[in-house]
Chain A
Amino acid sequence: MNPNTPAPEHRVRQGMDYGESEDVQNVHAAIQREKREPRAGLEPLSIWLIGVYGIAIFLGGAYLGRYGGNFSGDGLDYSVTPVAAKTGPGGPGGGQQTAELGPVERGKKVYSANCATCHQGSGLGVAGQYPPLAGSEYVLGSTRRLGMILLKGLEGPLTVKGAQYGSAVMQPWEKTLTDAKIADVLTYIRQEWGNSAGPVAPEGVAALRKEIAGHAGSFHESDLKAVPEDANLPGSGDAPATGGEPPKP
């Protein structure tokens, strides 16, 4: 396959495929002219390339920090809020919301996600099954009773606003909701639908949670009646909150 030899048979071969040739030499022409199998050289890494690596790592890391959304599992919001802005021992992701929303707005979110299925968005419940929250003596009365119901749940017959309920049970929320969320949702139901009772503070819920942690099972109406009508949690009162400001304990 030397192109410089003008041999007559070379010209003949020009028009032939390797496969048709008698000459084994020709069959492997493509392999013969091939360069050897590739190898890798050993040029060193240059300094400026290490600099480029550093820039890429810095930019990527900065981006992750800037838009990491506090690495919250339930946050769709990628902005990062400084930790100092947190007002309570919020759960994961609580930080970025406390900066903008008051307890009533936050409570509303908790309510529509967890409570509205039974007690309805109107707070009127379902007759015979789920007691109303609007105007309910339990909602407007002792915050201690209310905290007990939320944390441990409620079973058995119950009279609210003169009507009998009890075919359904209230589930315990102590494992699902944080102290802050329970406080927010209680504040919300005490001030929505024409209710006007004072807010509930997370510290009070935390204290109650610790106090009744040993109680097995849900409460019954008799357990609630055993608590005085005016027993309130620390940090909660009867005066309706004027603004979105959380109460000072």
Chain B
Amino acid sequence: MTPADIPLKPPTAGSVAIAAAEVSRGEVEQVERALIDASTRVPVLMFYTSAVVWLLIGTLLGSLTAFKSHMPDMLAGISFLTWGRIRPAHMNTMLFGWASMVGIGTSIWLMARLCRTTLRHPLLLVGGAAFWNLGVIVGLIAIFAGQSTGYQWLEFPPYAAAILFVAYSLIVSWAVLMFRFRREGHVYITQWYLLGAFLWFPWLYGATQMMLFVIPVQGVVQAAVNWWFANNFMFLWLGSIGLGTAYYMIPKVIGRPVYSYHLAAIGFWTYALFASWTGMQRLVDGPFPAWMITASIAASIFMMIPVVTMGLNHHMTMRGSFPLMRYSPTLRFTVFGAIAFTVFCVVGMVISLRSMARVVNFTEAGVAYTHLGLYAFFTMIMFGSMYYIVPRLVGREWRYGSLIKLHFWASAYGIGLMLLMLFVGGWVQGRDVDNASLAFSESTQSILPYLRGRSLSGMLLALAHLIFAFHFGMMLFGLGRHASVPTFLNPQADAKAHTGT
């Protein structure tokens, strides 16, 4: 039979059953995917749209932070735009506004697809997204008003965190329910990571809020709790979502199975085991029991086990398919992110070793490390997933391959330049601070050129985000070039035959 004979209209389960005798399994699956995508359309697009808006706000705040680091007089007269407020505002916008919301959006779609179940009552998820936005807005206003708690990545006061909790329970109970009612017996690797992230996040955030604000622990334990949270917000929450997405997108686009189930299982469980031990290596030479820091450093050495395993698994899956990165936007962003994850963990291990940390700890290199994880790894993978998912939700193809290409290169060069500037600058800064023959003020002078370079990289990233937001807006509202063929990065006659984008 020809594809035109598939009884898609009306696309209900009944009509599929009637035609089941003559319709192949693949065609039934297509109908099913269409139904699932339709059910996730409103909530996922709501999460994505909010995330993109937060991305732009966070980029603006981040650029201001970058400029103020070498132009301290800029906007100095306005109290809510002082460094002490604008920097936590940037970080929390990116973490809770952009990263968490885009991650949740992608997770919902992936979960629905992999569980082969439609999303029931999507309006509740829309409510969850609205509450989450409310929590971020309240938290940001509190930070700008000077009510930041002063804990890194936890600057939102407890009442904003409470709103986030309500939102989270609305969101995640739905994702877990989807898993409960899955119609697919096989539980794919991506689902392990997503379920892990969904269950780890409330534990992480709840335990931290409890230990810092409800029943506050005393003394240095506060720093331990704080860094445990910050690192595992990166690893267990965002990292799990990012890795799960990569495990879906890479084999999906190239149309080959993941190389090895066994490697994936080892990678997942060792990741879950070791990642939660890291965090305190950020306190090397701080006033802190030495063995706890050393335990975290040892854990980041043990982290090489999941990192090598996952990297190998992705590499063997991709082997022979690397040329497809020329065409598929999803694949290009996702593979970039997956490689960046390996680099992130290796760099994290190296700079946590005491001999290295003695120099670079508490310098700009720490900022570089954070951006390596949050941007080069997580954000790039999320961009990749949006390039895959959004056309399926809005029923339109991406408008211009050239805009995607520009987005990719501005992002890649922007983050590359930022990492170069901040790692080298952090090293110089650390050496100068340690040098007893130099006055402290000289170490602040020597880093200035690197901070200016960082501001330049921030401009590149801002350009990338503006392009992306513009393109995303065109997709939402159906503006620009219309097309019924997929948008590739480079025109190639046979590209379509190879990629499933």
Contacts and interface: CB of A to CB of B under 8 A. Distances in A.
A67 B353 CA distance: 10
Interface in A10-48: 13-21, 24-45
Interface centre among A30, A36, A76 (most CB of B within 10 A): A30
B356 to A, nearest CB: 13
B290 A76 contact: yes
Interface in A75-101: 75-78
B251 A68 contact: no
B294 A64 contact: yes
Contacts of A42: 260-262
A56 interface: yes
Nearest to A45: B262
A236 B252 CA distance: 80
Given A26-B484, A36-B29, A49 B290 contact: no
Interface string B384-422: 000000011011110000000000000000000000000
Contact of A39 (B258, B262, B394, B500): B258
A73 interface: yes
Interface residues of A, number: 55
B146 to A, nearest CB: 33
Interface stretch (B304-312, B438-446, B458-466): B304-312
Contact of A35 (B3, B260, B308, B500): B500
B290 A69 contact: yes
A36 B26 contact: yes
B84 interface: no
Nearest to B288: A76
A68 B291 contact: yes
Contact of A44 (B190, B251, B260, B353): B260
Contacts of A70: 291
B391 A30 contact: yes
Nearest to B253: A35
Contacts of B304: 52, 56
A3 interface: yes
B323 to A, nearest CB: 17
Contacts of A16: 482, 484
A74 interface: yes
Given A13-B484, A38-B248, A28 B290 contact: no
Contacts of B395: 17-19, 27, 30
Given A32-B30, A68-B291, A72-B289, A38 B309 contact: no
A81 to B, nearest CB: 12
A169 B291 CA distance: 38
A216 to B, nearest CB: 31
A240 interface: no
Contacts of B392: 30-31
B122 interface: no
Contacts of A35: 252-255, 500
A168 interface: no
Contact of B290 (A19, A34, A60, A67): A67
Interface string B120-132: 0000000000000
B500 A38 contact: no
Interface residues of B, number: 69
Contacts of A193: none
Contact of B252 (A15, A37, A44, A59): A37
Contacts of A53: 305
A60 B485 contact: no
B39 to A, nearest CB: 14
Candidate in A40, A45, A64 with the most chain B CB atoms within 10 angstroms: A40
A15 B482 CA distance: 5
A33 B500 contact: yes
Contact of A59 (B8, B295, B301): B301
A63 B297 contact: yes
B263 interface: yes
Given A14-B484, A32-B3, A60-B298, A41 B257 contact: yes
Most buried by A among B260, B291, B305, B353: B291
B9 interface: yes
A41 B260 contact: yes
Contacts of A29: 484
Contact of B316 (A37, A43, A78): A43
Contact of A43 (B252, B259, B291, B309): B259
Nearest to B304: A56
A13 B397 CA distance: 13
A234 B261 CA distance: 69
A57 interface: yes
A56 B188 contact: no
Interface in B278-322: 287-291, 293-295, 297-299, 301-302, 304-305, 308-309, 312, 316
A40 B192 CA distance: 13
Nearest to B32: A31
Nearest to A44: B262
Interface string B483-501: 1111000000000100010
A76 B293 CA distance: 10
B260 A37 contact: no
Nearest to B26: A36
A37 B294 contact: no
A67 B297 contact: yes
Contact of A40 (B8, B9, B257): B257
Contacts of B257: 38-41
A157 interface: no
Given A15-B483, A45-B266, A60-B301, A39 B8 contact: no
B262 to A, nearest CB: 5
B262 A3 contact: no
A61 interface: yes
B294 to A, nearest CB: 4
Interface of B: 3-4, 6, 8-9, 11, 26, 29-30, 33-34, 37, 113-114, 186, 188-190, 247-248, 251-255, 257-264, 266, 287-291, 293-295, 297-299, 301-302, 304-305, 308-309, 312, 316, 353-354, 391-392, 394-397, 478, 482-486, 496, 500
9 tightest A-B CB contacts, nearest first: A69-B290, A35-B500, A35-B255, A78-B290, A38-B251, A60-B301, A40-B261, A43-B260, A64-B298
Given A27-B34, A30-B392, A43-B262, 14 more contacts: A14-B483, A14-B485, A19-B478, A25-B3, A28-B30, A30-B391, A31-B392, A32-B3, A33-B496, A35-B254, A56-B304, A56-B308, A71-B291, A73-B289
29 contacts: A3-B496, A16-B484, A18-B396, A20-B482, A27-B34, A31-B33, A34-B33, A37-B113, A38-B257, A38-B258, A39-B186, A39-B251, A43-B262, A49-B263, A49-B308, A49-B312, A56-B304, A57-B302, A60-B298, A63-B297, A63-B301, A67-B297, A67-B354, A68-B290, A69-B291, A69-B294, A70-B291, A76-B288, A76-B289
